[in-house]
Amino acid sequence: MKLITHVREREWVVVAGYVLFVALMVAGYYYNITFVQLGLIDLGTRLVGMTETAVSLWMGALALVTLVVAIATGVTMDRRGWSTDLRTKLRLLFGVVCVQFALTFVAPTIRTVPAFGAWVVLASLGLGVGFPVSFSLAIDLIPVPDRGYVAAAITAVAYFLANAIPLTWSVDVFSRLMVAAMAPGILVLAVLSFAGFERLDALLDALGAQHETHGTGRFCHGAPVRVRSLAFAVPVVLMFGVFFVDSLGFLRIIDTPSLLLSSWQSPEPSTRLFIAVAHVVGAVMAGVIYANYSLSRVFLWTFALFALTHVMYTSDLRFAAAFPSIAGDGTSPLNPALYAVAVSFYTTLNFALWPDLSTPETVGTHAAIGIGVAGWLATFSSTALALYFQAVELTLLSHLNVVQALSLLLLFGLAVGLYARRMVELARGQGGESA
Amino acid sequence: MSPTEAIPLLLVVLLMISAGGGDVQTMSVSFDGDTDVDSVADVHVAAGGTATVPGAATVDGDVYVIGGTAVIDGTVDGDVTLLNGNLSVRDGATVTGTVQTYSGAAAVSPDASVGRLSRFEAPAPSSSPAQRVGGFLLRLLALGGFGWWIVERHPRVVENVGAAITEHALVSGVVGGLGAATLVVLFVYMAFTLILLPVAIVGLVAQFLIVLYGQAVFGYLIGTRLPIERDGVATLAGIAAFLLAFEVLGVVPLLGGVAQLAVAAVGFGAVLNTYFGLQRFEPVAIPGES
C-alpha cells in the first residue's frame, strides 16, 4: 500500500489528498444512501401524502434526469479540460454541495406534489453534476495501486455510519443531521475553492499536478479504453447487472416489515451493529481482492456473493411457507449480514473501477457513463420492474425468486464468458496468462 | 426459531437418521398445533407445536424433538432424542431404547420405564491432563507424519504455500475467510437437498483437510527457523511447536479464538491461492506499484 510509504516519507501533501478524497466521497455517499434513497420515500409518502407507487415513479425520474445531467457534465468536463483542473472541480463541487444543502434544509417543509417534483428535478441536477466531478478527483488525489484500498475505506466508513448510527428513516431526522454535517463541509470547500494564500495554493498546485503521474487508470495501460470498446462496455454491463439485482431485491426487502424490522431497522442495536461490521468486513475483503486479483475475479466474487445471498433469502421464505410454525419468530440476522458483505463488495468495486478505466482526458465521460448507466439507469429500470411486480401483486417469494434467478444467471454468464474468452485466446494462439 | 436457525437442526436430524441406517424419505414431521402420534413409519420429528404419543398407543420407531413440545404417555419402541424444545416422558410411559438429551428441557418421570437415559455433556476443554496430552500427541502424529512426507517428497509444493503465507498473509486470510465461509453455507444448503448430502459431507471433510494442510505448512515455516538440518525433522519439530502455540492461543479468552480462526483462514487461503502448492501465488501487477 503506497499510503504507508507516503506516511513514512512524510509526504503530507499526498496524504492530505487521500484524506480529502475519502472525506468527500464518504460524505457524498452517506448522503446518497440515507437522505436520497430513504428520506425521499418518507418525504413523498408521509409528508406529501403520495402513494408508494407515485414516489417510486418520481425516484425513477430522479435516476433518469441524473443520468442525463451526469453524461452532459462528464462530456463537458473532458472537452473543456475541467477534468484535469483540480480547482475547477472543487468549485463545481462547492456549488453542488450548496444546492444540496438548500434542498436538504427545505425538504421537511414540502407538502405538495409540484413542490416535491421540483425538489426531485433540482436534486437530480445536483447529483448529476456531483458524481462525475467527485469520482474524477481520484485521478488527482489517489495513486492507482491504492484505489482498491481507498474505495474499501470509503465503503466501510459510509456503510458503518449508515447502519451503526440508529436513525429513524424519516426525512426530518435525515435533514437535521445532514444540515449540521454539511455546514462545516461547505466552509472547507469554500476555502479550498476560493481562498488564496500561499500554503493552500502550493497544496492545491501539488495535488492538481498529480494526475500527470497517476492519472492513467489501472486498465488503461494497454490498448486505449474507449466508451465503445469492450474493455469499457463489459464492466458497464456487469455493474448494471449488479446494481439492478441489488436494487430489485432491496426495494422489496425494505417494503416487507418482517424482513426490515429484523435487520436494517431492527430495534436491537446489536443487530444493526452486526450488519455495520459485516459491511466493513465485506469492504476490506473487496479492497484486498481488487488490489491483488484480476477484475474478472472481483466480479466473480461479487456475483457469487449475491447469488448466495438470494439463495439464502429464498430458501428461508420457501422454508417458512412450508413450515409456518417454525418461521414465526422473525428472521436470522445472517441473511442481511451476507447481503451487507455483497453490497460492500460491489460498492468498493464501483468506487475504484471507473477512475481505473479512465485517463485524465476521459475520466469525466467514463465516470458519468459508468455510474450513470450502471448505477442510475439500473436503479430506474429495477424501480420500474418492482412497480410492475407490485401492480400484478407478485408475492415476496416470487419477487425474490426472480432476483435469485437473475443473480445466478449473471454468475453463470460471467463464468461462461470468461471460459469462452480463454478458448478464443487459445484458438488464436495467444496461450499466455489471461487477465 | 427462524428458518435459518431451524435448518441446521433438521440437517442434524437427517444426518443422524442417515447414519443410523434410517430412511429419511419415510419420516413424518409435525410443525404446528397438537398432533397425536399413534403410529410411526420409521421416524417422527417434532419440530413445533405439541406432539403426543397417547397413553394407549405403541409406536414402533424413533422420535426426534427439535422444537415445540413432545409428550410421551404411551410406548415408544425405539429411541427418543431431544435436540431442542421440551420433552416430557410421563408416569406409565415406556421408551424401550434410549432417551438421549443434547439440548432443551427434558422431564422424565421416575414412574416411566426407560431403557437408558443419557444426557450429552460437551467435552470440557479442561478434561484430564493425560487426555489432553494424548489428544495432542495424536494430532502431532497425524499432522507431523503428513508434514514429514510432503516436505521430503514434494518440497516445492510446501514452499509455494509457505510463501503465500509469509509474503501475502492478508490476501490469503481474506480469500481463506471468504472461501471457507461461503463453502460452509453452500455445503449446508447442498446437504439440505438430501440428494447432495454425500457431496456436502465430502466437501466439509475436504475443507477440514485443507485447514490441516495449512496448519502443516505453518509448522514447516516454523521448522525452517529451527537449527535442525534435516527438513523432515525440522518440519516435525515445527509442527509440534505450532500445535503447542495453537493450544496456548485457545486458552486466551476471545482473542485467542479469533487468532486461531485467523491462522486457519490464512492457511486455508494460502492453499487455495497456490492451487494446493502447485503454483506460486503472485498478485496482479498494478501499474505505478514499485
Per-residue model confidence as pLDDT tens digits over A335-385: 899 999 999 999 999 999 999 999 999 999 999 999 999 988 898 888 888
pLDDT class of A239 with cuts at 50, 70, 90: very high
**What is each CA distance from A10 to A1, A5, A232, in whole angstroms?**
15, 8, 37
Start-to-end Cα distance in chain B: 53
For B177-201, write each residue's pLDDT tens digit.
Answer: 999 998 888 888 777 777 777 888 8
Half-sphere exposure of B238 (CA within 13 A, CB side): 26
CB contact under 8 A, A326 and B31: yes
Look over chain A and give the mean of its residue pLDDT values, rounded to a whole number.
Answer: 88
Phi, psi angle pair for B281, to nearest 5°: -85, 125
Can you give the pLDDT at residue A38? 80
pLDDT greater than 60 at residue B2: no
Nearest Cα residue to A74 out of A333, A336, A369: A369
pLDDT class of A328 with cuts at 50, 70, 90: low
Lowest-confidence range among A315-329, B80-94, B240-254? A315-329
CB contact under 8 A, B284 and A294: yes
Question: How far away is chain A from the Cα of B287, in angstroms, using its nearest Cα?
Answer: 6
Between A396 and A79, name the one with better pLDDT: A79
Chain A residues lying within 8 Å of B6, measured CB to CB = 319, 323, 326-327
**Distance separating alpha carbons of residues A28 and A158, to the nearest angstrom:** 9
Chain B residues lying within 8 Å of A214, measured CB to CB = 288
Between A98 and B189, name the one with better pLDDT: A98
Are the C-beta atoms of A307 and A411 separated by less than 8 Å? yes
pLDDT greater than 90 at residue B55: no
Is the minimum CB–CB distance between A190 and chain B shorter than 8 Å? no
CB contact under 8 A, B185 and A308: yes
Nearest Cα residue to B187 out of B8, B3, B6, B9: B8
pLDDT greater than 90 at residue B35: no
Is the minimum CB–CB distance between A397 and chain B shorter than 8 Å? no
Question: How far away is chain B from the Cα of A398, in angstroms, using its nearest Cα?
Answer: 18
For A116-144, write each residue's pLDDT tens digit.
Answer: 999 999 999 999 999 899 999 999 999 99
pLDDT greater than 90 at residue B266: yes
pLDDT greater than 70 at residue B122: no
Can you give the pLDDT at residue A416? 87
CB contact under 8 A, A326 and B178: no
**Distance separating alpha carbons of residues B94 and A275, to the nearest angstrom:** 48
Residue with the three cell numbers 430522479: A62
For A29-80, write each residue's pLDDT tens digit.
Answer: 888 888 887 888 888 888 999 988 888 888 888 889 999 999 999 999 999 9
Phi, psi angle pair for A256, to nearest 5°: -115, 105
Nearest Cα residue to A142 out of B182, B286, B257: B286
C-alpha cell of residue B275: 492451487
Lowest-confidence range among A28-42, A376-390, B10-24, B270-284? B10-24
pLDDT greater than 60 at residue A329: no
Beta bridge partners of B75: B58, B94
pLDDT class of A290 with cuts at 50, 70, 90: very high
- This prediction has a pTM of 0.80
User: Which of B32, B171, B283 is closest, CB to CB, to A325?
Assistant: B32
Reported for A255-258, long-range contacts at CB under 8 A and 24+ positions apart, including other chains, are A255/A52, A256/A396, A258/A330, A258/A331
Question: How far away is chain A from the Cα of B132, in angstroms, using its nearest Cα?
Answer: 34
CB atoms within 10 A of CB A229: 12
Can you give the pLDDT at residue A323? 65
Chain B residues lying within 8 Å of A315, measured CB to CB = 3, 7, 189, 192
Can you give the pLDDT at residue A116? 93
CB contact under 8 A, B171 and A319: no
Is the minimum CB–CB distance between A330 and chain B shorter than 8 Å? yes
What ipTM describes this predicted complex? 0.77
CB contact under 8 A, A292 and B171: yes
pLDDT class of A433 with cuts at 50, 70, 90: very low
Instruction: Mutate one of B178, B183, B186, B290 to test the A interface: name it (highest A CB count within 10 A).
Output: B178
User: SS3 for B34?
Assistant: strand
Chain centroid to CA A228: 23
Percent above pLDDT 70 for chain A: 96
Taking only residues 241 to 300 of chain A, the set having a beta carbon closer than 8 angstroms to any beta carbon of chain B reads: 284-285, 288-289, 291-294
**Distance separating alpha carbons of residues A369 and A227, to the nearest angstrom:** 8
Nearest Cα residue to B235 out of B215, B262, B209: B215
pLDDT class of B21 with cuts at 50, 70, 90: low
Can you give the pLDDT at residue A435? 44
Query: How large is the average pLDDT for residues A238-247?
Result: 92
Question: How far away is chain B from the Cα of A396, in angstroms, using its nearest Cα?
Answer: 16
Is the minimum CB–CB distance between A433 and chain B shorter than 8 Å? no
CB atoms within 10 A of CB A180: 9
pLDDT class of A244 with cuts at 50, 70, 90: very high
For B195-240, write each residue's pLDDT tens digit.
Answer: 777 888 899 999 999 999 999 999 999 999 999 888 889 999 999 9
Phi, psi angle pair for A265, to nearest 5°: -115, 30
**Distance separating alpha carbons of residues B37 and B48, to the nearest angstrom:** 13
Nearest Cα residue to B174 out of B277, B268, B257: B268
Percent above pLDDT 70 for chain B: 90
Question: How far away is chain A from the Cα of B182, in angstroms, using its nearest Cα?
Answer: 8
